[in-house]
């Protein structure tokens, strides 16, 4: 409409991109603002004259607009109440408002997240990864993409052999059942023990005069782990049986944690299966002269032309490195799915790794490497600082979820919010609130930023938290239950400023979803929901809903409340968060 206003007022043809439109600032009347200054060279008039001419044209030619005002070169347009009412009575009432349908022509997007190692349980860092990957998947699907969620289990390599080796020598046949531990926790215990043994052997050699770097490279326990890896790649039956047994323990443990986190995958890949294809790719590249072999037999890629260094692809003893299986996994996935884009949800410490992956694949002639994208997210810490897996100082995912539910229970009891619920209902709500607090606190932060997770702060029922939004939803559901049977319609009454403001906010929801999808940033959805919940609570405080002045006003306000409830439920689901009907 602004383009037409310029064309018809001043006989100038411009493109839509040449008109700057933004939301009107809160202190001014209006819904959207046209920045007039860039258009003055076409109008040859003052900012106020230009704005008035455009504003009057747009009001005269659109039923959607009811008025305008011009302030210092900014044209503020007022959307008509009838437009907002029709939106409320139409699109806003649909359960999938803001979603783009997925059909046969939708882009095929693959999203990899989680990617655990089978030598330790999932920890706080994995929680951010899983929650981010799962939410991005749901948001991408909501914006019209066909999404395939995949997991890559790093189930082979020297780190896996470390746990196996110590269990073999120190475990005395211990199992998850005999230890009374989840399988992933049990295996992780032996990984920590390996590091303790390794460090003691290093110190012993250093005390005997061996240079520390040499001691680190030749510690006996590390040599044994390397030998076990060579036997594994050579299909040694005994090593393979041990590997299968201990991995099965870990998989059972992972599955419990995933279920509790509420995440799932469409397909799981295993490094033990894809590394062979990766080795074939590397050897083919060596044969074609894309890669080179050093005197010790190791195979490398020269990346100096790309401004990087040299990257090892196969060790001197022929065993694979992590990059080897990445090449095989990417190749297999493209063969199977022919994805339009592939998103790796991996922490920012792996930026170099994914840069190299794309370069090496392109050197091999795989042009689809341009479809790979690394969603690089920041680290998550506790107030005490960083965590280290091998030293056993990580915050275990299962322990953290237990703590979140206990904290939710304690705070709910202190506030007396669930006194009229039975014990079964209380337990369900404690879980929903605890997990909602955890998920929201992590997802409300821009993924690119490092963050500090504070369990106590996350469960606060006030402020920008999951429980605040959950409690708002429960309040909405209570109003709706009390208003059952009351006719709901837009009526002919005039809406107040707060009612219009709420509908205008809901109008932005589709744009929020699309922007969150484009930027792979669930925090846009999270913070939009907080703002909407905050606005609703202010409305609830300032205006009566069920005891309004007349039935028409009650019916209109119930429509607004219902629409807000649907969007809160829908948006929280995009974050993987449940919303209780009662609290």
Residues 134 and 57 in one domain: no
* Domain-located, residue 105: no
Q: Measure Cα distances from 132 to 56, 142, 398, 444, 515 in Å.
A: 46, 15, 18, 10, 16
H-helix or E-strand containing 536?
helix 523-542
Question: Is residue 491 domain-shared with residue 548, that is, in the same domain?
Answer: yes
Same-domain check for residues 130 and 160: yes
In a domain, 375, yes or no: yes
In the three-class reduction of DSSP (H, G, I as helix; E, B as strand; rest coil), residue 485 is classed as coil
Percent of the chain with pLDDT over 70: 98
Average pLDDT over residues 59-75: 93
Can you give the pLDDT at residue 262?
96
pLDDT at 267 over 90: yes
Report pLDDT for 219: 96
Contact 565, 466 (CB under 8 A): no
List CB contacts of 508: < 8 A, sequence separation 6 or more.
528
In the predicted structure, residue 1 carries a pLDDT above the cut 80: yes
| pLDDT reading at 393 higher than 60 | no
Q: Is 279 left (phi over 0), alpha (psi -120 to 50) or beta?
A: alpha
Mean pLDDT over 537-546 rounds to 96
Cβ atoms 300, 306 nearer than 8 A:
no
Phi, psi of 150 (to 5 degrees): -125, 155
Mean pLDDT of the chain: 93
Question: What global pTM score does this model have?
Answer: 0.91
For residue 389, the model assigns a pLDDT of: 43
User: What CATH number should be reported for the domain holding residue 191?
Assistant: 3.40.50.620
Q: Check which CATH number belongs to the domain holding 33 and give it.
A: 3.30.1360.70
Q: 105: exposed, middle or buried (C-beta count within 10 Å: 0-12, 13-18, 19+)?
A: exposed
190 shares a domain with 138: yes
CB atoms within 10 A of CB 449: 11
For residues 281 and 327, the answer to whether their CB atoms sit within 8 Å is yes
Whether 100 is covered by a domain: the verdict is no
Q: What is the CATH number of the domain that holds 569?
A: 1.10.730.10
Burial 410-431 (b: 16+ CB within 10 A, else e): ebbeeeebbeebeeeebeebbb
Structural domain including 500 reads: 397-574
Structural domain includes residue 387: no
Domain boundary (320, 346, 381) is at 381
Residue 419's pLDDT band, with cuts at 50, 70 and 90, is confident
275 by Cβ neighbours in 10 Å (0-12 / 13-18 / 19+) ranks as: buried
- Mean pLDDT computed over 367-377: 97
Instruction: Please give the Cα distance from 307 to 318 (Å, whole number).
Output: 27
Residue 106 lies in a domain: no
Strand extents, DSSP E, 431-562: 451-452
In a shared domain, residues 269 and 329: yes
CA dist 470 and 465 (Å) reads 9
Single residue among 79, 98, 131 that ends a domain in this structure: 79
Question: Are the C-beta atoms of residues 500 and 535 closer than 8 Å to each other?
Answer: no
Nearest CA among 167, 161, 318, 272 for reference residue 224: 161
Mean pLDDT confidence for 54-75: 94
Write out the DSSP string of 198-259: HHHHHHHHHHTT--HHHHHHS-HHHHHHHHHHHHHHTT-HHHHHHHHHHHHHHHHHHHHHHH
Q: Exposed, middle or buried: residue 228 (CB in 10 Å: 0-12, 13-18, 19+)?
A: buried
Residues forming a β-bridge with 35: 74
What is the reported pLDDT for 387? 42
Among residues 345, 531, 572, 538, the alpha carbon closest in space to that of 437 is found at 572
The reply to whether 362 and 408 lie within a common domain is no
- Does residue 249 share a domain with residue 140? yes
DSSP state of 102: P
Low-confidence winner among 18-27, 49-58, 224-233, 273-282 (lowest mean pLDDT): 18-27
Q: Has residue 103 been placed in a domain?
A: no
Phi, psi of 369 (to 5 degrees): -60, -25
- Asked if the structure places residue 391 within a domain, the reply is no
Q: Any idea which of 225-229, 361-365, 454-458 has the lowest mean pLDDT? A: 454-458
| pLDDT band with cut points at 50, 70 and 90 for residue 385 | low
Q: Can you say how many angstroms the Cα of residue 220 is from the centroid of all Cα atoms in its chain?
A: 42
What does the pLDDT look like over 81-127, one tens digit per residue?
Answer: 999 999 999 989 888 999 999 999 999 999 999 999 999 999 999 99
* pLDDT for the residue numbered 33: 96
Q: Which residues contact 268 (CB under 8 A, 6 or more apart)?
A: 150, 151, 152, 153
Question: What is the reported pLDDT for 420?
Answer: 78
What's the pLDDT score for residue 421? 81
* Confidence check: pLDDT of 422 > 90: no
Rounded to 5°, the CA angle 226-227-232 comes to 95
Check whether residue 496 and residue 424 sit in a common domain.
yes
Q: Which of 549, 543, 561 shows the shortest CA–CA distance to 483? A: 561
Instruction: Say how many domains are in the chain.
Output: 3
CA distance 418 to 168: 50
pLDDT (0 to 100) of residue 392: 46
Pairing of strands 372-377, 341-347: parallel
Report whether pLDDT(235) > 70: yes
Do residue 219 and residue 167 come from a single domain? yes
Q: Which residues contact 459 (CB under 8 A, 6 or more apart)?
A: 404, 407, 408, 411, 433, 434, 437, 465, 467
User: Is the pLDDT at 386 greater than 70, yes or no?
Assistant: no
Of 297, 304, 294, 315, the C-alpha closest to 363 is 304
Strands 267-270 and 146-153, how do they pair? parallel
Q: What percent of the chain has pLDDT over 90?
A: 85
The pLDDT, as a whole number, for residue 384 is: 67
Instruction: In whole angstroms, give the CA distance from residue 104 to residue 110.
Output: 16
- The alpha carbon torsion through 316, 322, 328, 334 (nearest 10 deg) reads -150
Report if residue 99 sits inside a domain.
no
Identify whether residues 416 and 283 lie together within a single domain: no
Please tell me whether residues 493 and 557 are part of one structural domain: yes
Confidence of residue 413 (pLDDT cuts 50, 70, 90): confident
Environment class of 348 (CB within 10 Å of its CB; exposed 0-12, middle 13-18, buried 19+): middle
Cα pseudo-dihedral 474, 477, 478, 480, rounded to 10:
160
**Cα(136)–Cα(557) distance, integer angstroms:** 33
Same domain, yes or no: 143 and 74: no
Say how far apart CA 381 and CA 455 lie, in whole Å.
11
């Amino acid at each position: 409409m602004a383009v037409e206003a310029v064309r018809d007022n001043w006989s100038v043809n411009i493109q839509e991109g040449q008109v700057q439109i933004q939301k009107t600032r809160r202190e001014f009347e209006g819904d959207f603002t046209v920045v007039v200054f860039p258009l003055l060279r076409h109008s040859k008039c003052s900012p106020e004259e230009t704005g008035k001419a455009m504003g009057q044209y747009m009001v005269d030619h659109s039923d959607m607009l009811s008025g305008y005002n011009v302030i210092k070169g900014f044209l503020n347009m007022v959307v008509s109440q009838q437009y907002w009412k029709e939106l409320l009575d139409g699109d806003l009432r649909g359960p999938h408002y803001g979603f783009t349908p997925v059909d046969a022509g939708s882009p095929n997007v693959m999203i990899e997240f989680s990617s655990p190692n089978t030598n330790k349980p999932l920890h706080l860092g994995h929680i951010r990864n899983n929650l981010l990957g799962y939410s991005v998947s749901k948001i991408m699907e909501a914006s019209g993409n066909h999404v395939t969620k995949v997991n890559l289990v790093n189930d082979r390599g020297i780190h896996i052999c470390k746990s196996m080796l110590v269990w073999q020598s120190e475990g005395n046949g211990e199992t998850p059942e005999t230890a009374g531990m989840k399988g992933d926790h049990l295996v992780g215990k032996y990984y920590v023990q390996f590091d303790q043994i390794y460090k003691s052997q290093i110190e012993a050699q250093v005390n005997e005069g061996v240079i520390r770097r040499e001691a680190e490279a030749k510690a006996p326990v590390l040599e044994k782990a390397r030998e076990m890896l060579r036997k594994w790649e050579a299909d040694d039956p005994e090593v393979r049986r041990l590997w299968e047994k201990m991995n099965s323990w870990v998989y059972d443990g992972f599955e419990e944690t995933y279920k509790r986190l509420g995440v799932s995958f469409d397909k799981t890949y295993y490094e033990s299966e894809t590394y062979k294809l990766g080795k074939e790719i590397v050897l083919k590249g060596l044969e074609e002269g894309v890669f080179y072999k050093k005197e010790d037999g190791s195979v490398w890629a020269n990346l100096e032309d790309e401004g990087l260094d040299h990257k090892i692809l196969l060790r001197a003893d022929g065993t694979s490195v992590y990059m080897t299986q990445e090449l095989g996994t990417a190749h297999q996935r493209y063969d199977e799915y022919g994805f339009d884009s592939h998103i790796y949800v991996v922490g920012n410490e792996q930026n170099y790794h994914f840069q190299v992956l794309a370069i090496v694949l392109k050197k091999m002639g795989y042009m689809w490497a341009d479809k790979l994208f690394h969603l690089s997210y920041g680290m998550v810490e506790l107030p005490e600082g960083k965590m280290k897996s091998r030293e056993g100082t990580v915050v275990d995912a299962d322990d953290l979820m237990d703590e979140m539910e206990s904290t939710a229970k304690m705070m709910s009891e202190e506030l007396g919010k669930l006194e009229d619920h039975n014990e079964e209902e209380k337990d369900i709500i404690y879980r929903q609130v605890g997990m909602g607090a955890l998920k929201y606190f992590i997802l409300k932060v821009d993924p690119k930023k490092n963050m500090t997770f504070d369990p106590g702060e996350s469960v606060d029922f006030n402020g920008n938290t999951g429980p605040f939004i959950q409690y708002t939803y429960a309040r909405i559901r209570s109003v709706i239950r009390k208003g059952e049977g009351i006719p709901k319609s837009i009526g002919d009454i005039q809406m107040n400023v707060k009612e219009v403001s709420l509908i205008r906010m809901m109008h932005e929801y589709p744009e929020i979803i699309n922007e969150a999808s484009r930027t792979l940033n669930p925090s846009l959805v999270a913070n939009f929901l907080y703002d909407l919940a905050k606005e609703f609570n202010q409305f609830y405080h300032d205006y009566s809903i069920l005891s309004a002045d007349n039935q028409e006003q009650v019916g209109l306000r119930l429509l607004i409340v219902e629409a807000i409830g649907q969007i809160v439920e829908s948006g929280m689901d995009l974050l993987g968060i449940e919303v209780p009907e009662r609290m």
